[in-house]
Amino acid sequence: MATLQKEISDSLSARPRKADEDYFTGKTIKTDTGTLEITPAMAKQVYRYLIKNDYTDDTDQVSQDYHAAKEAGTLAALPDELAPHAEQIFALIDSVFSESQLPEVGDDRKPKINPLNANFDKKAFQELWSRINHKAVYRVEFDSDELVQKCIGTLNKELRVTPLKYTIQTGIQDDQITDTQLKSGDSFQVQETTTEHGGSVHSLVKYDLLGNLAENTNLTRKTVADILTKIEPSIFAQFKQNPEHFISEASRLISEQKATIIIERLSYDEVADQYDSDIFTANQSKQDFTKAGEKLKNHIYDYVITDSEVERKFVAELDTSTEVIVYAKLPRGFLIPTPVGDYNPDWAISFKEGSVKHIYFVAETKGTMSSMELRGIEKTKIECARKFFDELNRKITADNIKYDVVTDYGKLMDVVGLKAAS
């Protein structure tokens, strides 16, 4: 029995681990009219559906709530655009690894609890939360002609598509082969390898180039057409070499140019609605505790699930700092809307300065600050967040909220303006 349980566990653990936008994007599903590729826009809808219904946890793993609802036949309805493909969409979700599917083979398999502790109720944290829990909508106006010209220049300069290629291997299979050789691929002796490029690849797949780019960039077909008809013929000719790569790269470059322009003309308007503190308790009962360190002193939960070595070091220094009153890794339900997608900051921190005044800080931790290391869309979201918090600060007369991206605790203390403890 134990062997069977281990085999099941190994099989499940080999699956993709995150049900995020990247996982769903590009997947293909069967429809009555043929094969359909999941676009970035469709992937975002699936991802938001999972978040909205608490079907994934803070690490984007499929939660027990999803499996329980599916078994009971009570799954929330998919958005109208996805409803015709419900069976295939749910099959994709089911293929993602989930801790709740693992067989129980002892206490280590049982879910642990990570409840809010007394730090959450501290006056310092509640005051910080009351300052940042405001929702807002953004407004942006930009010149379409300016966008078209910038996109033309960027595509001509940077759009480089990798031609399709395939490898042909010829060889001889051994007369007698074992099961081990078959599994390892050692039963076939390769004698010759040839690489063929795109000119020899013929595809019957038809692409809606304008439609795909318009959907991926949230631009009109007319604007996309204006861009494509004015780029250099040699650049546009790359579409035939590798249509999918052309679409994905052109979408990325156009989106980045769009983001660069609109960030200059972006403004936020606060709305009456606010985030409820319930977002701190959603999906906190079942998490991947292999990514949690020791029990914490100043965090609003006993443990924090970290995603990288940078975050682990950051937590260790926050928790031992004499300058930090309380801090929280913000739940992923706390989102700032931006024209290039919702943004979820990492940390909310309350510092003490002297004996009275508090400094409220929202931080994003990155291993590097080099602009070459951060994706264009990510940089744009960060700049939008700056404008969002600037708008909140405009209406607060004292104890404003600081926001920045830092590489480590020392950089954080430099930005805050306090001397880091030696």
Q: What is the DSSP string of 143-199?
A: -HHHHHHHHHHHHHHH---PPPEEEEEEEEE-SS--HHHHHHTTTEEEEEEEEEEGG
Look up residue 353 and give its two tokens: 């300065």
What is the pLDDT confidence band of residue 209, given thresholds at 50, 70 and 90? very high
Q: With a cut of 60, say whether residue 101 has pLDDT above it.
A: no
Which of these ranges, 1-5, 227-231, 343-347, has the smallest mean pLDDT? 1-5
* 302-326 pLDDT per residue, tens: 888 887 788 888 899 999 998 899 9
pTM for this prediction = 0.56
Most confident option among 19-23, 42-46, 66-70, 350-354:
42-46
Is the domain covering 118-140+272-416 a CATH 1.10.1740 domain? no
Per the model's pLDDT, the better-predicted residue between 53 and 227 turns out to be 227
Is the C-alpha dihedral spanning 409, 415, 421, 422 positive or negative? Answer: positive
* 313-370 pLDDT per residue, tens: 889 999 999 889 999 999 888 998 887 778 888 899 998 865 435 577 787 776 544 4
Which of these ranges, 100-109, 192-201, 393-402, has the smallest mean pLDDT? 100-109
DSSP 8-class letter at 367: S
The answer to whether residues 129 and 313 touch, using CB atoms and an 8 Å cutoff, is: no
| Beta-bridge partner residues of 419 | none
Domain definitions of the chain by residue range: 2-109, 118-140+272-416, 149-163+205-264, 165-200
Dihedral, CA of residue 67, residue 62, residue 41 and residue 16, to nearest 10: -120
Cα 310 from Cα 329, distance rounded (Å): 14
The answer to whether residues 55 and 282 touch, using CB atoms and an 8 Å cutoff, is: no
- Residue 89 pLDDT: 87
Look up residue 318 and give its two tokens: 């926050």
The answer to whether residues 273 and 135 touch, using CB atoms and an 8 Å cutoff, is: yes
Of 51, 15, 36, 119, nearest to 85 by C-alpha is: 36
Of 24, 76, 86, 22, nearest to 52 by C-alpha is: 76
- Residue 114 pLDDT: 77
